[in-house]
């Protein structure tokens, strides 16, 4: 199997586990490809911005109830230790007060996470407990933005 076929198979598996990302709830195929094409030993930092729903929105038959914050807390309970198990760490997690400069946007939480390398970040998405808790992130977030930074 060629490297391209391996990458395409990995992207298909990730899309199957996390969704196609067209709703903004997960990476798209192009987003996964960009990350998979990164040098595996390069450090990576992600800047996450989250706007939480007033009421968590779960798929039919999977209603855990509560607010977007409640759902996000359920996600964080599993995602933080999962991230740490890959060698990742949070540099900052906290509420967004508002913009200081630039275009106005409305976010509730900012989280800056750093991974020792791309391989460590990608390994997070293979952890079963992380995959299982991702539904809470989707239910919690009205919108989200994740920016990749080198280093």
Q: Kindly state whether residues 59 and 98 are assigned to the same domain.
A: yes
Please give the tally of structural domains in the chain.
2
The pLDDT, as a whole number, for residue 2 is 87
Q: Give the domain extent around 30.
A: 1-37
10-residue averages of pLDDT along the chain (151 residues): 87 96 95 95 97 96 92 98 98 94 92 98 97 97 96 84
The pLDDT, as a whole number, for residue 135 is 97
Q: CATH number of the domain at 94, please.
A: 3.30.70.100
- CA within 13 Å, CB half, 107: 21
Q: Kindly state whether residues 5 and 56 are assigned to the same domain.
A: no
The pLDDT, as a whole number, for residue 41 is 96
Q: Kindly state whether residues 15 and 78 are assigned to the same domain.
A: no
| CA 54 and chain centroid, separation | 20
The model's pTM is 0.92
The pLDDT, as a whole number, for residue 103 is 86
Q: Kindly state whether residues 91 and 142 are assigned to the same domain.
A: yes
**β-bridge mates for residue 114, sequence order:** 45, 89
The pLDDT, as a whole number, for residue 143 is 97
């Amino acid at each position: 199997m060629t490297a391209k076929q391996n990458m395409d198979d990995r992207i298909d598996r990730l899309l199957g586990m996390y969704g196609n990302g067209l709703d903004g709830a997960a990476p798209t195929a192009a987003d996964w490809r960009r990350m998979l094409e990164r040098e595996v030993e390069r450090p990576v930092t992600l800047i996450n911005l989250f706007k939480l729903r007033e009421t968590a929105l779960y798929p039919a038959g999977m209603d855990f109830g509560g607010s977007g914050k409640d759902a996000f807390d359920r996600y964080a309970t599993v995602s933080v230790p999962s991230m740490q198990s890959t060698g990742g760490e949070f540099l900052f997690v906290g509420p967004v007060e508002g913009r200081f400069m630039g275009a106005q946007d409305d976010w509730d939480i900012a989280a800056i996470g750093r991974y020792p390398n791309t391989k460590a970040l990608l390994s997070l998405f293979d952890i079963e407990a992380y995959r299982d808790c991702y539904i809470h992130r989707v239910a919690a977030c009205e919108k989200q933005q994740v920016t990749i930074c080198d280093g």
